[in-house]
Amino acid sequence: MGKVAVGSAVLCAATACAVAALIVRHRMRNSGRWARAMAILKEFEEKCATSTSKLRQVADAMAVEMHAGLASEGGSKLKMLISYVDNLPTGDEKGLFYALDLGGTNFRVLRVQLGGREGRVAKQEFTEVSIPPHLMTGTSDALFDYIAAELAKFVAMEGEGFHLSVGRQRELGFTFSFPVRQTSISSGTLIKWTKGFSIEDAVGEDVVAELTRAMERQRLDMRVSALVNDTIGTLAGGRYHDNDVLIAVILGTGTNAAYVERAHAIPKWHGLLPKSGEMVINMEWGNFRSSHLPVTEYDQALDSDSLNPGEQIFEKMLSGMYLGEIVRRVLCRMAEEAAFFGDTVPPKLQVPFVLRTPEMSAMHRDSSPDLKVVGTKMKDILGISSTSLKIRKVVVEICNIVSTRGARLAAAGIYGILKKVGRDVVRDGEKQRTVVAMDGGLFEHYSEYSTCLQSTLRELLGEVVADTVAIEHANDGSGIGAALLAASHSQYLKPDES
């Protein structure tokens, strides 16, 4: 063989060795990256663990905080607000009542004709109105004048099937889903605005008085009989359809719970005990916190980057506003530390709240063989065009971990309320039944979440007690609930009816 041939052969062999070495190094690097990604996943899963014993600790802590919040103002992270709702609907309500539901960039106006035990909700109509953005940051008069004008328009369209008794004033239930310090069933001062509203001259003012003055300017003869928040409206709407409803929980963008408490179990209540012996308590449970909550570094980072650091810790772990964001933060760390999506971190993945919970839910429930939905969402939302099946499976697993933790914590919270009111056991000779009215898009549309919540509550209660507790979906409870509360707190009720 000539020198050239020998040289070529040596060169080819060297090249082949170099290529082989590159392949080995590439494989080793890839396997090293994969191992790092799996380590991040495993650590996250372990820190999110919600064993039955841990959930029992969370429920016990919830019950302790409930006691503390009822004992004194500021005694707990749970505000345990007295709602002044001491009469829930019974089904006997009759007449025409209105509701106004203000809780975001739209408000709804509703009218219902109640026909008592036989007629129930004989007829109802509603309209939804968008609030122009400039009114969300303007003056109190401008906002309430706009609302009152739309309300007057709606009243003017009152048609057949709606009858106001002769000599009676129209009555309204006002659902106002912003932080309010309630002073009676029909008055409360605004503590602060949320959800993009910022109207300085309304803070510290009685929102019912503001609305009443605006209605007077419109020459609309209507009285606000009940001021409530959406959770209490859900409880009222639930009770109207089922007398065993004791608790209401909203699981949507945010989360909250309300329940019926015995009036004598509220040490901070200094007024006369209501004749019913009961009082609805607005827990504001999104602000619950405990050392037993499985908080991860991702939760801590999300909290510190939020508009309200240190507040609403429970809400940030289990409500619709935040679940998708937790998933995004875990994926971002995998991209940064394990080159999970290639050598560079996808720019869109670094955008806070780009991954919303409805998209997370769609990926979680993807049952196609190649997880096509996951692939499409990763491409459309995060700009990651090619993902292997292996990567897609990891994404689904992260969704599952986050959703499961949230659902199980929500169940623990409900179990804590049941413990507080003594419905976590079945006493001999009692045929009790307890219903939890649930509302909110997260519970309604994220089926894996709601299924997990219900099975976890059953696990905590045990089979015997679980058979006495039901979770029922109360769709749009807050709207009709406010009208029903206007009816059950009507100025025309006789003393023995109130």
Residues designated as active site: 108, 177, 230
Evaluate the CA torsion angle 220, 223, 229, 233 in order and state its sign: negative
Left (φ > 0), alpha (ψ -120 to 50) or beta: where does 483 sit?
alpha
Q: b/e per residue, 343-375, with b = 16+ CB within 10 A?
A: eebbeebeeeeebbbebbbbbbebeeeebebbb
Task: Give dist(CA 356, CA 399) in Å, integer.
Answer: 12
107, 100 Cβ separation under 8 angstroms: yes
Q: How far apart are CA 107 and CA 197, in angstroms?
A: 13
96 neighbors 162 (Cβ within 8 angstroms): yes
Amino acid type, 374: V
CA–CA distance, 393 with 375 (Å, rounded to integer):
10
Single-letter residue type at 209: A
- Which amino acid, 226? A
Q: Which amino acid is at 394?
A: V
Q: What is the DSSP letter of 49?
A: -
Gap between the terminal Cα atoms of the chain: 112
Question: How many alpha carbons lie under 13 Å from residue 35 in its C-beta half-sphere?
Answer: 6
Q: Are 231 and 169 in contact (CB under 8 A)?
A: no
By CB atoms closer than 10 A (0-12, 13-18, 19+), residue 382 is buried
Q: Report CA-CA distances (Å) from 376 to 112, 202, 382.
A: 44, 45, 10
Structure tokens at 43: 């650590």
- DSSP label at residue 169: P
Closest CA to 229 of 179, 165, 193: 179
Q: Rg of the chain over CA atoms, in angstroms?
A: 28
The burial class, CB within 10 Å (0-12 / 13-18 / 19+), for 51 is exposed
Strands 170-176 and 222-228, sheet pairing: parallel
> Among all chains, which residue has been given the structure tokens 């380590």?
39
